[in-house]
Amino acid sequence: MKDLKNYIETNRERFLNELFELLRIPSISSKEAHKEDMIKAAEWVKDKLAADGAENAEVLSTNGHPVVYADKMVDPSLPTVLVYGHYDVQPVEPLELWKSKPFEPEIRDGKIWARGADDDKGQMYMHFKAFEYLNSTNQLPCNIKFMIEGEEEIGSPSLGAFCEANKEKLKCDVILVSDTAMIAKDFPSITTGLRGLSYVEVKVKGPKRDLHSGLFGGAVANPINILCDMISSLTDEKNRITVKGFYDDVLEIPENERKEMAKAPFNLEEYKKELDIEEVYGEEGYTTLERVGIRPSLDVNGIWGGHTEKGAKTVLPSEAHAKISMRLVPNQDSKKITELFGKHFKAIAPKSVKVDVEFLHGGEGYVAPSDTVEFQAASKAFEETFGQKAIPVKSGGSIPIIALFEKALGVKSILMGFGLESDAIHSPNENYPLDNFFKGIETIPYFYKHYTEMKGK
């Protein structure tokens, strides 16, 4: 790649200034109040792709937030790579824990600090700049298409229909995604497994009105206590999930694959230290990497009920609520699991309360082999810039659209993540090391090169 390092070095400041423009747009997809910001972000993405040399750049409306498309077809006989990314971000609460404002990006300690710095504005923008370099220096080795959506953080509800409706436009040989993390600093990795997701909201309703906890306490079921009992019973003493039928479709990973996983660079003491916890936790019989990589989990993502402000209100509340999500492993069907959960949760409710279970969102897990052309090409690309081959890892996260792409477009995805687990995505103080950002821009062109070469053989 001619002059690649020098190109990045020369344009370093401009690249950051451009990214900061995007980071300043509070494109929170889950909040109605940010609808205008979503459109603003989509327009910005479209304009930038056009400015970087892409053609046919357009903002395409969906039933939800729009999708941005652009492409650069150099030769129909060459392979076509579709770059996927998302311009939407997670909410930012609790705001008081941010050291700098989430939508006022700044650089401290060699990192970019902002909501979306990593997930996914920062990682997505590396692709724009890699493309700009290849295009402006006439070195594009293959055809490139961009599909940048605005609903990833809310489960991509419109993307399935969008893919179905635009099959021809989106036709490609592989989908390239940077929306995952490296297994450790300086250890490039390629995500070969993702967990599925079933996310529900539950309500436990007791008496029809809030009661005085003195006059009624001890005689009327308290929905918060009951909700705690019910949640507690969802896992057993081995931290296995008790929902009936939950493990029926879980594939046990063969011993040799577990041995392979155990070789990944992972330091439990550093992991605990970074999180400031004394002990890890999880399903008996599995390591930490296995617990997130190959085993399902159940987490309460939010809980609320009764008096949550300052002071001591003696209330026995009428209702209690929780958001509960389950991460699923490949072969577990998220719809089936959601149904099993709903049935189970209603079955375990005592007669003294009424229970509602509402499905919020979900998606399927994904597993990709590591003997494919795209895996080898990505691994070689990492080797060019990091000096070592990529490690295949199974991530605990979920990108439901990866399974969806395979179903709707019939193509596999390659997950070249440049984030770090310490980037605090979805948390206060999200950040993205400058090194990773620039290393990403440097690595991506090599993927196109090796992929085209290997594919051509």
* Cβ 75 vs Cβ 138: under 8 Å: no
**Closest to its own copies by CB, 51 or 280:** 280
Considering only residues 301 to 320 of the shown chain, the ones binding its own copies according to CB under 8 A are: 301-317, 320
Question: Minimum CB separation from its own copies for residue 113, in Å?
Answer: 13
Positions in 234-293 near its own copies (CB under 8 A): 235, 275-283, 288-289, 291-292
Q: What DSSP letter does each residue of 210-221 carry, written as one string?
A: -EEHHHHBTTB-
Listed residue (227, 232, 347) closest to 298, CA to CA: 232
Distance CA 116, CA 105 (A): 10
For 11, phi and psi rounded to 5 degrees? -105, 10
Q: Between 386 and 405, how does the x/- string for binding to its own copies read (CB under 8 A)?
A: ---------xxxx-------
Minimum distance between the CB of residue 195 and its own copies, rounded to whole angstroms? 6
For β-strands 106-108 and 80-86, DSSP reports them as unpaired
Give residues with Cβ within 8 angstroms of 304, minimum separation 6. 320, 321, 322
Smallest distance, Å, CB 216 to its own copies?
Answer: 7
**Please, which residue, 279 or 371, has the CB nearer to its own copies?**
279
Contact 312, 183 (CB under 8 A): no
Q: Which of residues 171-190 bind its own copies (CB under 8 A)?
A: 181
| CB-nearer residue toward its own copies: 13 or 96 | 96
The least distance separating its own copies from the CB of residue 192, rounded to whole angstroms, comes to 15
Residue 173's φ and ψ, nearest 5 degrees, are -95, -30
Binding of its own copies at residue 299 (CB under 8 A)? yes
115 close to 102: Cβ distance less than 8 angstroms = yes
Closest distance of CB 23 from its own copies, Å: 19
Of 218 and 387, which CB lies nearer to its own copies in the complex structure? Answer: 218
Question: For the purposes of burial, counting CB atoms within 10 Å of the CB of 337, is it exposed (0-12), middle (13-18) or buried (19 or more)?
Answer: buried
* Residue 424 binds to its own copies (criterion: CB under 8 A): yes
CB of 257 to its own copies, least distance (A): 18
Interface with its own copies in residues 31-60 (CB under 8 A): 31
CA 130 to centroid of chain Cα atoms: 22
Residues 74 to 133 in contact with its own copies, rule: CB under 8 A: 90-91, 93-94, 97
Min dist. Cβ of residue 80 to its own copies (A): 30
For 145, phi and psi rounded to 5 degrees? Answer: -125, 150
At residue 75, what are phi and psi to the nearest 5 degrees? -165, 120
Shortest separation between residue 157's beta carbon and its own copies, angstroms: 11
Of 79 and 363, the one with the shorter C-beta distance to its own copies is 363
Binding of its own copies by 331 (CB under 8 A): no
Task: Closer to its own copies by CB, 213 or 370: give it.
Answer: 213
AA identity, residue 293: G
Say how many Å lie between the first and final Cα of the chain, rounded.
20
Considering only residues 194-213, where is the footprint of its own copies by CB under 8 A? Answer: 195, 197, 199, 206-213
Tokens of 96: 């008081």
C-alpha–C-alpha distance, residues 111 and 432, integer Å: 5
Considering only 4, 142, 224, 261, the residue that binds its own copies (CB under 8 A) is 224
Token reading at 395: 């991530």
Strands (E), 308-348: 315-316, 319-328
User: With the CA atoms of 174, 180, 185 and 187 taken in that order, what torsion angle do they form, in degrees rounded to the nearest 10?
Assistant: -30
Work out which of 30, 61, 242, 331 binds its own copies, going by CB under 8 A. 30
Q: How far apart are CA 207 and CA 354, in angstroms?
A: 9
CA distances from 150 to 79, 120, 272, 430 (A): 27, 10, 34, 19
Q: Which of 96, 219, 254, 255 binds its own copies (CB under 8 A)?
A: 219
- Decide: 85 and 67 in contact? Cβ < 8 Å: no
- Residue whose CB is less far from its own copies, 2 or 351: 351
Our finding on whether 156 is near its own copies (CB under 8 A) is no
- How far apart are CB 238 and its own copies at their closest, in Å? 13
Fill in the amino acid letter for 425: I
**Shortest approach of its own copies to residue 30 CB, angstroms?**
4
Site size toward its own copies (CB under 8 A) is 98
* Nearest residue (CB) to its own copies, 46 versus 121: 121
Query: Where in 364-436 does DSSP place strands (E)?
Result: 366-367, 391-394, 413-415, 431-433
Choose between 53 and 296: whose C-beta lies nearer to its own copies. 296
Nearer to its own copies, 219 or 259 (CB): 219
- Binding to its own copies by residue 322, rule CB under 8 A? yes
CB 352 within 8 A of CB 211: no
CB of 325 to its own copies, least distance (A): 6
Q: Footprint of its own copies on residues 360-379 (CB under 8 A)?
A: 360-361
Q: Closest separation between CB of residue 338 and its own copies, Å?
A: 12
